[in-house]
Amino acid sequence: MNNFIKRINPKWLLILAVAFIFSSCDQDEGTSMPSVSNAEYDDTPYQLDIGNFPEPDLPPDNPLTVEGVKLGKMLFFEPRLSNGDGQACADCHNQGNGFSDTLRFSLGVRDLPGTRQAMGIFNMAWNTNGFFWDGRAELLRHQAILPIQDSLEMDETIDNVIAKLSVDPLYTDQFIRAFGDDKITEDRMGLAMEQFMLSIVSHDSKYDKWVAGEVQLSESEERGRQLYFTEFNPFFPDQSGADCEHCHGGINFENDAYMNNGLDVDVDISDLGRELVTNNSNDRGKFKVPSLRNIALTPPYMHDGRFQTLEEVIDHYNEGIKMSETIDPALIQTIEPGLLLDDQKKEDLKNFLLTLTDEVFLQNPEYKSPF
Ligand code: HEC
Ligand code: HEC
């Protein structure tokens, strides 16, 4: 096709272009005629809305531009990234659920379930220590390419995706605007999706408004907040805190680390987690400490979605922690006699977790499908 174009006399191209303009009132989208694009490269920076968060360390070699973020969003909502054109990233990462999936195991294009629960995608700009439950993708640009080729997810080849998108002026034009020419490559798709995912920010929960002094917490939420942020004291367990902040801390309610939070005894650890990446048995059964922002909307919980509700999660930490070789030491001291949270305290803790829901982010039109 390219050689064919090169061999055409430029005069003919002009005639073709004129003919195309005159015939364009037919709106024949399926035309195979090479159209002359008037798209232009545009590197206007994308203004990340970070609220009161600290400036993130964005990748210096992939500055966010308005057109790059837009291209990434198109790809994120594009079912042609999948085999059979039936599934987009957004089908498993649904905005209304904090860009997560409420199925325990998401179904891929072949209707086969994976083995882990889909993760929420927001505040990735502050995530500096790998992606996926086991952190096997170091950068978002690498992460973004993997689900396309995963046989349990989109099950497509990059070559096929490129072939499908290269014949659509919607994409060739957008690649020009984002990258300067219409060449669609794996690298560029990764960079564009990285830009879009970095642009997804959640900073407007009730808790954030409370931090900014704009609203008050209810008495129960405030008691829950104190439980959340107060250390556990094994000598006075019934009067001390639940110390969730120990791991789910900082502005994003996570610590960028991989840890074992006592889900199983050693023989029951079937998913090795971080060990699969590091080959180090000290990492057995360790998983990424996830953000607890928007947690009410991202059930089920844990890497394998074993808990359906926040009540079950709280019961786990209160009285269900299992001992294993790699369990985090902070949790060992809570095994006996447990956190000793009574029903009221459990309710308070849950009510605090509910203040982390960010309706603005869940509705934000910036993150909605561009189609
Ligand atoms: C079939 C459902 C499904 C599809 C389709 C899918 N994902 Fe995911 N996604 C998941 C699951 C499940 C995980 C966790 C997998 C793991 O840890 O092994 C995940 C994890 C992620 C993460 C890691 C987040 C973090 O905090 O580390 C990102 C980012 C992500 N997906 C982006 C994408 C993008 C981009 C696409 C489209 C190219 C996509 N996903 C398509 C199910 C899906
Ligand atoms: C020692 C570190 C640690 C402490 C302390 C801790 N967590 Fe976790 N939490 C984790 C890890 C690691 C995971 C992911 C585990 C997995 O999926 O295998 C997790 C997962 C969760 C999840 C599921 C998130 C999701 O997206 O599926 C919730 C909810 C949660 N924790 C709430 C709490 C609460 C509430 C407390 C305090 C009572 C707490 N955590 C204390 C490390 C910790």
Domains and CATH numbers, the chain: 39-48+62-201 (1.10.760.10), 206-359 (1.10.760.10)
Ligand with minimal distance to 305 CA: 2
Residue 20 has pLDDT above 80, yes or no: no
Better pLDDT: 107 or 198: 198
User: Quick check: CB of 273 below 6 Å from ligand 1?
Assistant: no
Which pLDDT band holds residue 24 (cuts at 50, 70, 90)?
Answer: very low
**Cα of 141 from ligand 2 centre, angstroms:** 26
The whole-angstrom separation of Cα 78 and Cα 29 is 18
Percent of all residues in the chain with a pLDDT value above 90, rounded to a whole number: 85
Dist CA 180 CA 39 (whole Å):
9
Residues 355-367: tens digit of each pLDDT: 999 999 999 999 9
Structure confidence by residue, pLDDT tens digits, 72-114: 999 999 999 999 999 999 999 999 999 999 999 988 888 888 9
Sign of the alpha-carbon dihedral angle for 132, 254, 287, 100: negative
Six token digits for residue 186: 């794996």
Atom of ligand 2 nearest to the CA of 300: 27
Task: Indicate the top mutation candidate among 244, 270, 295, 311 to test ligand 2's pocket, ranked by most ligand atoms within 8 A of CB.
Answer: 244
What's the pLDDT band for 25 if we cut at 50, 70, 90? very low
Q: Which ligand is nearest to the CA of 75?
A: 1
* DSSP code per residue over 201-235: ----SHHHHHHTTSS---HHHHHHHHHHHSPP-TT
pLDDT score recorded for residue 10 = 55
Return the sign of the alpha-carbon dihedral for residues 264, 258, 124, 214: positive
Q: Which residue lies with its CA nearest to atom 36 of ligand 2?
A: 244
With 70 as the cut, is the pLDDT of residue 120 above it? yes
Pairing status of strand 287-288 against strand 258-259: antiparallel
pLDDT digits (tens, 9 = 90+) for 124-172: 999 989 999 999 999 999 999 999 999 999 999 999 999 999 999 999 9
Give the residue, out of 87, 93, 140, 141, with the most ligand 1 atoms within 8 A of its beta carbon, to mutate for a pocket test: 93
104 — phi, psi (to 5°)?
-60, -50
- Report residue 1's pLDDT band, with 50, 70 and 90 as the boundaries: very low
- For residue 215, the model assigns a pLDDT of 98
pLDDT in tens, 36-75: 789 999 999 999 999 999 999 999 999 999 999 999 999 9
Closest protein CA for atom 40 of ligand 1: 89
Ligand closest to the CA atom of residue 122: 1
Residue 19 reports pLDDT greater than 70: no
Helix/strand/coil (H/E/C) assignment for every residue in 67-112: HHHHHHHHHHCCHHHCHHHCCCHHHHCEHHHCCECCCCCCECCCCC
CA–CA separation, 81 vs 64, rounded Å?
22
CA of 261 to the centre of ligand 2 (A): 6
Please report which confidence band the pLDDT of residue 9 belongs to, taking 50, 70 and 90 as the band edges. Answer: low
Mean pLDDT computed over every residue of the chain: 92
